[in-house]
Structure 1
């Protein structure tokens, strides 16, 4: 799992921009599910393990996808195996609705979409809801929400939840990985708040009005730095402009409007602390707690489809053992079908008959 760091553009002294890292609250939650993302246990109208019973009364929007993180501009298919109208009102039925993040929505009437619908591939889903404006009593069996453009065979909701504790945020330069059988956090980031304290050895350049930090050994990669009040400058230090910060592989530099000597700079920093995160040359591997190691090693895939998400939308890579038995069995069946079709075609061509339409 790779960490994440985000910040709005155009950070300035007048308008600071917060630096947001993954796991700022001290943890990242990982969920492992099967292909069906619909958790019926969270639905207020659940009436058994595979059915919801919508009452015969007017209902506004009931969000049925709390806890689901939908991928950007991705098609999902929502389906149900069957539904029964328990209290009719003419030909009406409840409505499944999709709210997109751009503020638009789509409505899908159950009596017009007999077994389900797919969402818009060019939009990102915010949530899916049910409405019942005509007070139609309805029982809906085996709801399924899955990624893809087609409905597939129903599968009950499956869930594994793992909480990974963090002793500090997981930045874009940090990651969680397994080394020699041990899961841990690889920290490649440093966090510092410059406040003009005695430990900060700022030196004024003799060429321009910029300052550099004495003893700073540089970044692992130039320009990989964030500051809440100064814009990230990418270029030569001799061309740095006012109210910018520059981090490269050899040093760290700042230039502040109106600052002409170190004393002025330190006084200014004392009331204008700079919150800075950067890509460090130093790396630290911190093993995760034993209980987390056990939980990670206990995670398993769900046949035939596994969906893995996390609370911070961090990128993840997974290694797993291939289910060779199911793969081989399925492949044998596929090849047998192909062989049978080929044999039929050969016989049809030889005897000039259509065997597939014969009784």
Structure 2
């Protein structure tokens, strides 16, 4: 157990940023670097911890940390491991009925001390909204308290998607801006919280305004933050991911970010044979392991868009490896259950 929660800036500063030897982009004269948040200790690994950090810092000392997720949730996994490391009780409300065999993710969460409470998919959908920006949060807290039979728990939104999560992700952008000079910063996007935080962080380097931050960069502008959506088709009646990111950023103009949608293979949480072949090829070429839910889709899109000419020769890209490698076990687990 750690004696205290280290400052988030200290954690961010320890993350290696490495130049990739990637033949596909090398042949296009595009320099690609990778930020290895996957190499941090398991309890504070990947972008999930940045989103959790200020959520758990705000929790009363005696309160249990309660959050939501599915059977392969990186978020619940991160919360459980952080709780174990910091000596805090955690509760995971899991979407769906308890199966005969727990997923490897939930086995690890339970082994870390997380109490798992399973909820029908219908009730889960009624209780949770997309994230903590658009939710009726007071209603959710009240309903969770009623469901759990106690009102002293500390509720963290699914995926850590709220203002506290965004503030944590700003440290990613701040650290990148202070340590490197890149034309573009790229990452996989689910809720959009990490993208919004990175964009704000990069724009805040050396000052609160965009013009002050731009002085640090040789091109005279803040690096373009490009998010690659890993979601499937949007359901009718739901706000778009771009709209929700704009809401997170208080409607500020998209001066330093953009979102690529409908270009990654498979729907959310789904893989394809082509994607799995790409993961093997990428590891062979670069030595870096990717996961099928987030990072493989990010680098697959980078490769495709680079070939299509999205970035000119001489560009210097930084791709954020947001972790999630524990989810690789989902490929084998789902196959074994068939």
Q: TM-score, length-normalised on structure 1?
A: 0.20
Structure number with larger C-alpha Rg: 1
Q: TM-score, length-normalised on structure 2?
A: 0.21
Q: Which has the higher strand share?
A: 1
